[in-house]
């Protein structure tokens, strides 16, 4: 799994998705279909060992989540891009036109991007109370870190079915919300919009092996592996 294909890191919106730009498109182009493939999603190398997030996230879950689920999203979105001749040059344009894409392209593109982001905003021995600009922004917006945690946890716990909880920067204002399935706040048809700063995967495959139906317990444990340094980079 660690031998994932490496590609150029996207600079658009400061996000971690990796792609190969094989064709330079006009800057204002919005048509999703062409005879030339312009974008290819790649799976980042996991930044830590599969067992590094124990006990919050168990080894078996990480192996399956990264090695099976995430790998499948990468494979499926690239198949869709090729078959449907989708020619957006960046993931930013891809998601900005998500409403024009097929369900396969949109869902798997979201799954590919969301997980690349998710792995990076976690780390071994993470958690704690963020300081500096992140801590200040959270306190200014939500009143306190504890109030922020409560609201974010509620967004994850009350997302019906599968989805994600998000903290985003929307024009300098922090917002909390959730999205269904593999949608994300970069998509043009997302109710919650903004630059993602923090994300929590609340699909059952992210926690069911260890926590079964106890999603709230998973969320509580997850705070211990949050990588606030990465959140700060995205807030810059």
Q: Of 66, 98, 120, which one is at a domain's C-terminal end?
A: 120
Residue 183, pLDDT > 70, answer yes
| Rounded CA separation 196/231 (Å) | 9
Cis peptide before 55 (omega within 30 of 0): yes
**Residue 125 belongs to some domain of the structure:** no
Tell me, yes or no, whether 104 and 28 share the same domain. yes
Among 93, 120, 147, the domain-final residue is 120
Q: Cα 87 from chain centroid? A: 22
Residue 176 and residue 86 in one domain: no
Say if residue 12 is in the same domain as residue 109.
yes
**What SS3 state is found at 63?**
helix
How confident is the prediction for the chain on average, in pLDDT? Answer: 88
User: 90 and 111 share a domain?
Assistant: yes
Number of structural domains (the chain) is 2
Same domain, 139 and 115: no
Are 108 and 145 members of one domain?
no
Residue 71 belongs to what domain range?
A: 8-120
On whether both 92 and 12 belong to a single domain, the answer is yes
Establish if 76 belongs to a structural domain.
Answer: yes
> Does 22 score more than 90 pLDDT?
no
User: Which phi and psi angles does 164 have, rounded to 5°?
Assistant: -140, 150
Quote the CA–CA distance of 37 and 83 in Å, as a whole number. Answer: 9
Please indicate, yes or no, if residue 202 is contained in any of the structural domains. Answer: yes
In this structure, are 62 and 143 located in the same domain?
Answer: no
E strand map for 171-225: 173-180, 195-201
Alpha-carbon span 151 to 26, nearest angstrom = 41
Q: Are 39 and 17 in contact (CB under 8 A)?
A: no
On whether both 112 and 138 belong to a single domain, the answer is: no
Of 60, 89, 120, which closes a domain?
Answer: 120
Burial of 64 (0-12, 13-18, 19+ CB in 10 A): middle
Q: Are residues 97 and 163 in the same domain?
A: no
Is residue 19 within a helix (H) or strand (E), and if so which, with residue range? strand 18-19
Spatial contact of 115 and 45, defined as CB atoms under 8 Å apart: no
Give the mean pLDDT of 8-36. 37
| Residue 4, pLDDT score | 38
Half-sphere exposure of 139 (CA within 13 A, CB side): 8
Reply yes or no on whether the pLDDT at 181 is more than 70. Answer: yes
User: How deeply is 195 buried, as exposed, middle or buried, from its count of CB atoms within 10 A (0-12, 13-18, 19+)?
Assistant: middle
Question: Could you tell me if residue 89 is inside a domain?
Answer: yes
Residue 186 lies in a domain: yes
Residue 73: predicted pLDDT: 98
Q: Does 56 reside within a domain?
A: yes
Residues 71 and 153 in one domain: no
168 lies in a domain? yes
What digits encode the pLDDT tens for the residues 73-117?
Answer: 999 999 999 999 999 999 999 999 999 999 999 999 999 999 999
The mean pLDDT of 30-37, rounded to a whole number, is: 46
- How confident is the model at residue 5, as a pLDDT? 33
Burial profile 210-221: b = 16 or more Cβ within 10 angstroms, e = fewer = bbeeebeebbeb
pTM of the model: 0.84
CATH at residue 34: 1.10.287.990
The count of other CB atoms within 10 Å of the CB of residue 97 is 18
**Given pLDDT bands bounded at 50, 70 and 90, which one contains residue 51?**
very high
Please tell me whether residues 152 and 231 are part of one structural domain: yes
> Does residue 2 lie within any of the structural domains?
no
Q: How many CB atoms lie within 10 A of CB 147?
A: 13
């Amino acid at each position: 799994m660690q031998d994932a294909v490496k590609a150029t890191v996207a600079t658009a919106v400061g996000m971690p998705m990796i792609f190969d730009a094989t064709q330079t498109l006009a800057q204002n182009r919005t048509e999703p279909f062409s005879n030339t493939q312009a974008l290819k999603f790649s799976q980042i190398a996991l930044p830590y060992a599969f067992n590094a997030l124990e006990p919050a996230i168990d080894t078996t879950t990480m192996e399956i989540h990264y090695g099976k689920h995430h790998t499948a999203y990468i494979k499926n979105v690239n198949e869709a891009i090729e078959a449907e001749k989708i020619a957006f040059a960046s993931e930013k344009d891809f998601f900005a036109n998500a409403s024009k894409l097929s369900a396969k392209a949109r869902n798997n593109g979201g799954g590919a991007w969301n997980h690349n982001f998710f792995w990076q905003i976690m780390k071994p021995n993470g958690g704690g109370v963020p300081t500096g600009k992140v801590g200040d922004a959270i306190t200014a917006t939500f009143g306190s870190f504890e109030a922020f945690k409560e609201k974010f946890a509620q967004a994850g716990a009350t997302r019906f079915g599968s989805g994600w909880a998000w903290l985003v920067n929307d024009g300098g204002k922090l917002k909390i919300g959730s999205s269904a399935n593999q949608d994300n706040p970069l998509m043009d048809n997302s109710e919650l919009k903004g630059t993602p700063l923090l994300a929590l995967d609340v699909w059952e495959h992210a926690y069911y092996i260890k926590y079964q139906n106890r999603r709230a317990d998973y969320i509580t444990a997850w705070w211990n592996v949050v990588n606030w340094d990465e959140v700060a980079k995205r807030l810059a």
